[in-house]
Structure 1
């Protein structure tokens, strides 16, 4: 497995946010984490990227125990996150934002290759290359956040709520691009409230409820699971 969490517990002060969760992501997979607001999805992502320390349990990436590794060193190892709320640099241009994603890298030719790749995936960013990030629409900022995460040439791309606040047509487009990124060889762990879109594209998925994994299976299995349909797909 490329990524493995074993019995991971995480605290916010005295509040236990994750209750011994275990999950895995295999090389080349799209794995989805679905659940209601406050279920612990984003917290799980922060644990993996190193933004929050875990209280107990282990996180293994590419065969290495990274449980206590600093966040910036996880990026160097190949873990890159597009955070919830996008988190772009509003005063920087599109190109400058993308180049910030490559801050750990030195090979200029490879960086330029990846800029071209991002501009091919997101032609809108190429059109707005010199535009300041903060003046762009929500959909464009989301594309920029995903593009910036790709600039570190990750082995594992963490996507936290990529469809949040987007119009339906753009949601479809973002998910199609996630599939394309995966087909180009990048493994994806996807946190998403739009369960229908996530499960229809994920190879496997986990359902989180109040910091615990209550269900797992293939994307197709969970799409047809009565309790998942009832809770997350708006279908009785």
Structure 2
């Protein structure tokens, strides 16, 4: 069976700095796959090459069997790849409703948008309460909810989530990860997750990859890596 997403020998650079070296990974339809690693390991660059905002310098990316290595970022959204980026990236001067509507800018089937916006509000009741509030006045947790909700409005087949728990209070972290599992299980959306909270990420993931200095160094199921003593020592704070 063809993976939904496949990176084969991907390289990417920032000038003379090699950010990714021969990165290969797969994401199967219906999975949650997580990518863990230290700061600067290349996780966010991996997400950027998948979403199309960072060009490759080698290798290839296929989505549902088609080579998208040189496809523009906006056309990848049309194909079904949507991202909630690191730092959330909401439009701070727009209301919650306007931010969600912007997530659907590439959609032609706009008659379904009210029902899908209601589905986002069911996932995130707090956003429903703040639907007319300007995004920049929301708390960090609420902004993260809005970033994920906006990405869902593109009706993705593959949802890219880059550090969704960054800077959040513990109660929001638990809530965000619970909702990620619900999005995957109830809506059937495949998820590629970059996350420094390895405990939460691995406990939710079907499969996982470890990245170090721009390379994939280990792979396995989420449960396997969660139980690995080396992973516990390096990423879970357990010697």
Q: Mean alpha-carbon deviation: is it higher for 105-114 or for 65-74? A: 105-114
Gaps of 5+ in 2: none
* Deviation readout 1:33-82 (Å, 9 max, x if unpaired): 00000000000000000000000000000111000000000000000000
1:222 aligned residue: 225
Give me the whole-angstrom Cα distance separating, in 2, the residues matched to 1:152 and 1:170.
Answer: 24
1:203-222 matched pairs, under 5 angstroms = 203-222=206-225
Distance 1:26 1:222 in 2: 18
Where do 1:139-218 residues align within 5 Å? Answer: 139-183=141-185, 184-218=187-221
Distance across 2 between alignment mates of 1:110 and 1:44: 32
- What TM-score comes out, normalization by structure 1 length? 0.99
State the distance in 2 between where 1:37 and 1:114 align: 35
Quote the offset at 1:136 in angstroms: 0.5
C-alpha distance in 2 between matches for 1:108 and 1:154? 15
Unaligned 5+ runs, structure 1:
none
1:106 is displaced (CA, Å) by: 2.5
- In the superposition, the TM-score normalised over structure 2's length comes to 0.98
**2-side partners of 1:114 and 1:13: how far apart?**
41
Stretch of structure 1 that moved more, 106-115 or 127-136: 106-115
Deviating above 2 A after TM superposition, structure 1's stretches of 4 or more consecutive aligned residues are: 106-109
Cα distance in 1 between the residues matched to 2:177 and 2:203: 10
Q: What residue is the counterpart of 1:235 in the other structure?
A: 238
RMSD, aligned α-carbons: 0.5
Structure 2 CA distance for aligned equivalents of residues 214 and 204 of structure 1 = 14
Matches for 1:82-101 after TM superposition, within 5 Å: 82-101=84-103
Aligned residue pairs total: 236
Cα offsets for 1:130-149 (capped at 9, x unmatched): 00000010000000000000
Structure 2: distance between partners of 1:209 and 1:169? 29
**1:108 Cα deviation after fit:** 2.6
